[in-house]
Amino acid sequence: MSEGGAGMRIDHPHVGVTTAFLGMPTFQQAAKESLNDPVQRRNLAHATGVIREKRAAVVGELDNWEELRRAAEAIKNRALFSLDDYLMEFEERAAAAGATVHWARDAAEANRIVVDLARAKQAREVVKVKSMATQEIELNEALQAAGIDAWETDLAELIVQLGDDWPSHILVPAIHRNRSEVREIFLRQMKKVGRPAPEDLTDDPPRLAEAARLHLREKFLRADFAVSGANFAIAETGSLVVVESEGNGRMCLSLPKTLVSVVGIEKILPTWRDLEVMLQVLPRSSTGERENPYTSIWTGNAEGDGPQDVHIVLLDNGRTEVLADEVGRAALRCIRCSACLNVCPVYERAGGHAYGSVYPGPIGAVLTPQLRGTSSEVDQSLPYASSLCGACFDACPVRIDIPSLLVHLRTRVVDEHRGGVPRPEAVAMKAAGWMFADHRRYEVAERLATSGGKALRSPLFGRREVLRQLPPPLNAWSGARDVPVPPPESFRSWWKRTEGGRHEPRCAPHSSTETPSGQRTSSRSRSTEGE
Amino acid sequence: MNAREEILGRVRLALADRPGSPEIDWEYGRPVSTGGLGLVERFAERVADYHAEVEMLDREDIGPAIAAALGDARHVVGDRTLRESWPSGAELEWLDASDLTSAELDQVDAVVTTATIGIANTGTIVLDHGRGQGRRAASLVPDVHVCLISADQIVSDVPEAVARIIELGAQTHPLTWISGPSATSDIELSRVEGVHGPRTLRVIVVR
Ligand code: SF4
């Protein structure tokens, strides 16, 4: 359980994610509306289409793409199959280079480590490079609970964080915002939290980007404490790698005095030269570029350059359980490129939110239930969130056979369930899963699931409660978006009150989007994850 | 049991089936074809493809080229060689990054660095922040980055670059790979160059 998890809690072991998933009706309603909105659907299809084309073009330039994929697969397998040795090697090398290495069994432990470090440095705010691992553990919430502001620093994050009117923009928040909306948000909100937008701001994208540059630069220049994830952790040298586009990563990695990187244990690569494969397949698969604008690699601390106090938190949080499944462990090869999302017809239709996890799309459907444990009844529907068309496998740079994994997980779900009476959550989850097979079933799921809404106070808007669980398609791996939190009613109490949903008026407006300040209705012991 | 022991124990338990270490069927460090173009030409083409500016010139033309690349920049960060060899009386004020705080760097107009490696097929420059390059913040905070690279530093593709970095013993230095100016497509999917990194990247290839 996460620390600071006082307040209401539903009594399931994996509440954080459970709650997110149970919060689906609101999402589904919004998704349904969005899907019925031809403009938004076109935007969504356009976005995935653009990336698909770019990817195809840069992949087509290489005559050895298949060879690269096989090498990438073998490298990740080699790391995973001797993970204990490589983790110890990584720890030793990173420590020798000046980093302090911490180990975290679960989210709560990782959060505690980061919060304690921030407190020890008397940091009142931290700048963050977007990172799925920190989304997974809900680090921002933990920092917030400790009175520390966490600033996400990529542009899409900024637009969404500053905007205060999300409900109909769930699927593609930052893409969906047109330029004049972005301008208006910047003008109205930047001054409340830092450097104001220039008064003569126009809706020209370069001008808007400049406003973001100036606004965030103030934060970069004064921040003493940064938090990042990592795309790769190299055992041989103890090095970490962050791949990015905007330069906010470079800012966070080189200006503050203290840097803490939260790194899933599956990020290990055996040797430094393995980067020659990974740095070819990742940018091409991810943003469809030959190489992304910026890649930063660092090893411990460097004298006179960048953070001198460097920490690495090696995070398990369910990964060892995935590793224990001889078939399912393939999902740990994932390098979070999001190629599988962009080719998935189910994803394009349902949107990222429907997966109820920071890991959406095909990979989310295999990774999320494994990380959370299929013995929990919560995610048993996810393996059904696919038509098994196989496009994801073809796109995957580390050759994760997602369709076969889905089938494997379905078998596990069935086996683990034999003889037991499903709990209400499981029923709700199954109902939610059906919607992938038939759109009309949205209604079923809507009525079945309700929310124990996870209350996260937005650093920007005080009492406005937000829920950070809805990755959009385009930046699906890169940022949680804020949407209003569903009311803080636990699934169980709702179930009782409405007799299993039968007395719940369909599409009833939620009476409240707030919970008492600071109250958390969920915590997360294990969950899904990030880069 | 502490977290470390417990996690390592869980890993060992998870690997109880003792999967064999797979062969990696890949020959590391191989040169890659640059198509019909030579290394330098391919590099220049790909750098330009990112909308960075690139020019090729001979050694004796470096001075004027840097001056031109700096435009009307007045406060410029550069390494000692540049600072000392620049003709006196010029309107430029050269600064040493190691004397400057981040906030002071923010007031600087431009930075001139060398590079460690250029990658032809991807149009990437790699800095290892050694001599001539300064600490990472120095090539990040100023808005204009002029980068000098010599033709013999250019390799075909990522595999050769990685091999060269290891050869130089630079793999544990802080490294920054730069492929064009920083960019975002977060506003209406339209690509905007320059968010947080230098918005102008000028690469000068010295033959
Ligand atoms: S599973 Fe999906 S996100 Fe992960 S590496 Fe494969 S294609 Fe990329």
User: What is the distance between the alpha carbons of residues B173 and A484, in angstroms, rounded to a whole number?
Assistant: 44
User: How much of chain A, in percent, has pLDDT values that exceed 70?
Assistant: 62
Task: Give the pLDDT confidence score for residue A177 in this predicted structure.
Answer: 67
pLDDT at A502 over 50: no
Nearest-neighbour CA in chain B from A441: distance (Å): 32
For the ranges A137-146, A260-269, A381-390, A418-427, the lowest mean pLDDT is seen at A418-427
Query: Does A397 sit in the ligand 1 pocket, CB within 6 Å?
Result: yes
What are chain A's domains? 72-321 (3.40.50.10420), 425-524 (no CATH)
Question: Would you say A150 and A219 are in contact if contact means Cβ atoms under 8 Å apart?
Answer: no
Task: Give the pLDDT confidence score for residue A96 in this predicted structure.
Answer: 98
- Render pLDDT for A295-321 as a digit per residue (tens, 0 to 9): 999 999 999 999 999 999 999 999 999
- Most confident among A336-350, A360-374, B33-47 (mean pLDDT): B33-47
Task: Give the pLDDT confidence score for residue A372 in this predicted structure.
Answer: 72
Give the nearest ligand 1 atom to A367 CA. 1
Which pair of structure tokens corresponds to residue A136? 């997974």
Question: Which comes out higher in pLDDT, residue A457 or A280?
Answer: A280
pLDDT at A331 over 60: yes
User: Which DSSP string corresponds to A277-341?
Assistant: HHHHHHHHHHTS-SS-SEEEEEES-BTTBS-SEEEEEEE-TTHHHHHHSTTGGGGGG-----HHH
Question: Which comes out higher in pLDDT, residue A343 or A274?
Answer: A274
Task: Give the pLDDT confidence score for residue B192 in this predicted structure.
Answer: 79
User: What is the distance between the alpha carbons of residues A281 and A398, in angstroms, rounded to a whole number?
Assistant: 9
Which pair of structure tokens corresponds to residue A22? 């149970």
B21 contacts in chain A (CB < 8 Å): 78, 81-82
Give the nearest ligand 1 atom to A286 CA. 8
DSSP class of B152: G
Question: Which comes out higher in pLDDT, residue A152 or B109?
Answer: B109
User: What is the distance between the alpha carbons of residues B163 and B169, in angstroms, rounded to a whole number?
Assistant: 10
Q: Among A340, A343, A357, A367, which is best to mutate for testing ligand 1, by the most ligand atoms less than 8 A from CB? A: A340
Do strands A309-315 and A258-264 pair parallel, antiparallel, or not at all (unpaired)? parallel
Best of A276, A321, A399 to mutate (most B CBs within 10 Å, chain B): A276
Instruction: Indicate the pLDDT class of residue A36, thresholds 50, 70 and 90.
Output: low
Q: Which superfamily does CATH assign the domain made up of B38-206 to?
A: NagB/RpiA/CoA transferase-like (3.40.50.10420)
* H helix runs in A376-490, sequence order: 391-395, 402-417, 424-434, 442-448
pLDDT at A350 over 90: no
Task: Give the pLDDT confidence score for residue A9 in this predicted structure.
Answer: 28
Kindly state the average pLDDT of the residues A135-150. Answer: 90
Residues 58-97, chain B: which have Cβ within 8 Å of A? none
Please answer yes or no on whether A295 and B176 come within 8 Å at the CB atom.
yes
* H helix runs in A37-128, sequence order: 38-60, 65-81, 83-96, 107-120
ipTM, 2 dp: 0.97
Nearest-neighbour CA in chain B from A129: distance (Å): 12
Task: Give the pLDDT confidence score for residue A13 in this predicted structure.
Answer: 22
Query: Does A226 sit in the ligand 1 pocket, CB within 6 Å?
Result: no
Question: Which comes out higher in pLDDT, residue B121 or A25?
Answer: B121
Instruction: Indicate the pLDDT class of residue B15, thresholds 50, 70 and 90.
Output: very high
Chain A: residue nearest B21 by CA? Answer: A78
Nearest to A130 by CA among A244, A276, A50, A277: A244
Kindly state the average pLDDT of the residues A436-449. Answer: 31
Q: What's the CA-to-centroid distance between A399 and ligand 1, angstroms? A: 8
Task: Give the pLDDT confidence score for residue A366 in this predicted structure.
Answer: 83
Task: Give the pLDDT confidence score for residue A252 in this predicted structure.
Answer: 97
Task: Give the pLDDT confidence score for residue A45 in this predicted structure.
Answer: 74
In the beta sheet, which residues pair with residue A484?
Answer: A466
Query: Does A314 sit in the ligand 1 pocket, CB within 6 Å?
Result: no
- SS3 at position B119: strand
Query: Does A260 sit in the ligand 1 pocket, CB within 6 Å?
Result: no
Chain B: residue nearest A295 by CA? Answer: B177
Question: Which comes out higher in pLDDT, residue A497 or B7?
Answer: B7
Task: Give the pLDDT confidence score for residue A369 in this predicted structure.
Answer: 78
pLDDT at A510 over 50: no
Kindly state the average pLDDT of the residues A496-522. Answer: 36
Question: Would you say B120 and B158 are in contact if contact means Cβ atoms under 8 Å apart?
Answer: no
A92 contacts in chain B (CB < 8 Å): none
Question: Which comes out higher in pLDDT, residue A436 or A134?
Answer: A134
Which pair of structure tokens corresponds to residue A61? 């330039």
Q: Where are the domains of chain B?
A: 38-206
Task: Give the pLDDT confidence score for residue B182 in this predicted structure.
Answer: 78
Question: Which comes out higher in pLDDT, residue B116 or A141?
Answer: B116
Of A221, A279, A280, the CB nearest to B103: A221
Question: Would you say B200 and B147 are in contact if contact means Cβ atoms under 8 Å apart?
Answer: no
pLDDT at A81 over 50: yes
Residue nearest to atom 4 of ligand 1 (CA): A334
Nearest-neighbour CA in chain A from B108: distance (Å): 14
Give the nearest ligand 1 atom to A335 CA. 5
Q: Among A337, A393, A404, A474, which is best to mutate for testing ligand 1, by the most ligand atoms less than 8 A from CB? A: A337
Q: What is the average pLDDT value for chain B, to the nearest integer?
A: 92
- Render pLDDT for A212-262 as a digit per residue (tens, 0 to 9): 999 999 999 999 999 999 999 999 999 999 999 889 999 999 999 999 999
Best of B23, B28, B37, B186 to mutate (most A CBs within 10 Å, chain A): B186
- Render pLDDT for B137-174 as a digit per residue (tens, 0 to 9): 999 999 999 999 999 999 999 999 999 999 999 999 99
Instruction: Indicate the pLDDT class of residue A173, thresholds 50, 70 and 90.
Output: very low
Please answer yes or no on whether A306 and B162 come within 8 Å at the CB atom.
no
Chain A: residue nearest B121 by CA? Answer: A290
Chain A: residue nearest B8 by CA? Answer: A84
Instruction: Indicate the pLDDT class of residue A486, thresholds 50, 70 and 90.
Output: very low
Q: What is the average pLDDT value for chain A, to the nearest integer?
A: 72
In the numeric block, the tokens 């996810």 are attached to A382
Question: Which comes out higher in pLDDT, residue B1 or A250?
Answer: A250
- Residues B192, B144, B120, CA angle at the centre, nearest 5°? 75
CA B184 to chain CA centroid, Å, is 18
